Structure 1
Amino acid sequence: MKRRWLFLFIIILTWVAVPKSAAAQTPTPFVIAADELYHGDIATFDQPVLVLGEVDGDITSWFGSITVRGIVRGDIVSYTGSIELESGAVVEGNILSLTGGVTIKSGVEANGAVIGTEPLVSSTVTTSLINVLHGQTSNRLFLPVGISGIIGAIITILLTVALTLIWPRRTAGIGRALRAAPLRSALVGFLSTVLILAALPFVVGLLTLTLIGPILFLPLSLLMHVPYAIGFTGVARALTAAWPPTWTLRPPLAAAVGTLIIITPLVVVSMVAPAVALAIGYAVASWGVGAALISRGGALPIWQDRLVYGYGRSD
């Protein structure tokens, strides 16, 4: 019975991680025609906005891109989408994009402040995850795909080794908890990630309401990734802990080898579908996050539940 639940979880996780077919393409843009004067504010969730005429108000989108060829009398804000001002565009208000970047071509009149001409360093992860959930692929890469994947792999290995050196017993405890209760770890980690993604737009929205909010976004984003780094380390420790005793490695080397085994196929996948590789990597890390939560950061000997509750055979 537990194997059936595990199989169902894998199906759901695959559906979330793999981009959808053509049926899940980008929504139809909200268009303001060239001869149209729109009075009032425009707000969309993930629908792109194209302004060819004039908008007497603000334009706001959570996930959609905003393209302006005409006139906007108010502010333009796209929290995780891109903003593009083409030649001849006029914007009288402020312009803000936290993760998608702002492109301003020649011949543009922008009278307000412009924030986010380039995406924040850590926000590309958020953008890619959101694009995956919407069936899109990442459309902005700063390095060639292969090189960026290799650099990411090296950083991940160094990070897991560092975390193992700092918390050798805790990361080992997370790995043992994951091996003792893999299904519980997967479900708890999956639900935690879903809750974080659901709350993220509202948190970003609150941060943008203050002047210091955009400045805090970067450190808060980095802080949010700490549990996933610890979770990924726990998965790497669990992988090498399953080896025969004669193959036992010291904790830092075990973490490095385990991470290399996990990250190598992801680097290969990233050369074809970077967003898919990123989503799978976060899924693996979420699995470790679940193990960390149920074991209280590796401090609770959850693997002893086998003796009390009978866990460990298929859960």
Structure 2
Amino acid sequence: MADAHAKHHDYHLVNPSPWPLLASVGAFVMALGGVAWMQYLKGGSLPFFGLNLANPWLFFIGLVIVLYTMFGWWSDTIKEGREGYHTPVVSLHLRYGMIMFIASEVMFFVAWFWAYFDASLFPAEVHQVVRTEYTGGVWPPKSIEVLDPFHLPLYNTIILLLSGTTVTWAHHALLHDDRKGLISGLVLTVGLGVLFSFVQAYEYMHAPFAFKDSIYGATFFMATGFHGFHVFVGTIFLLVCLVRAMRGGMSKEKHFGFEAAAWYWHFVDVVWLFLFASIYIWGSVGATIAEGH
């Protein structure tokens, strides 16, 4: 009887898990909360079965659910790896999964770039849609003063490029069993990620335009804001790797969690370079630069 239930394959059949369902619920609540928050900021309402959901709290409830799911799911995955379930076949499929996830993220950002270029390349009448009243027939719109791309945006570009260097240093240190270099590289990467977020928050607070003022503000904040959210997620991802490294976890033979975090971080870097080149630099050509920004 024991042989009948013995495992004769390299695959890992996971136990029933609550995380996929909880992740879906958290993502839905956070997305709905984002819409509710936007309605709240513009003074609108979001009626739902007699309730007005236009407030920022729904977003943060969803965020807490997502963060809790990330903690629980990653903890289970780490535990499975320690118990020997991550065979070469399973490890390969984990890599395929991360590659597919990043590919889906690429298409997610394609949507925001598409919206930005559609509005900027066709600021006047196009496809029976009159945009002149919103843009003045030019891009950026006549009433918009834009941010200086070679001020805070350039500073943040340097920060992210440096963070890409430090995370690569940490990876090479791990491959050479240099635990001190691994921890130092991750500390610097996490610190740079936090610094980037603070600089972007400062930029948002002092931006000479608002989300609801124009199509320029809407496309700008959606594209750069979602990137900022990805920086936040990536920073948490790397912070988890840092805590594991400080506790003696991960080895040069088995460290897919760190590889996945590094891939994600490099993806965030590349997306920012496209944002910086297209929205900040190209989008400011011929525009009025706001003083002190």
TM-score relative to the length of structure 2: 0.25
Higher helix share: 2
Higher strand share: 1
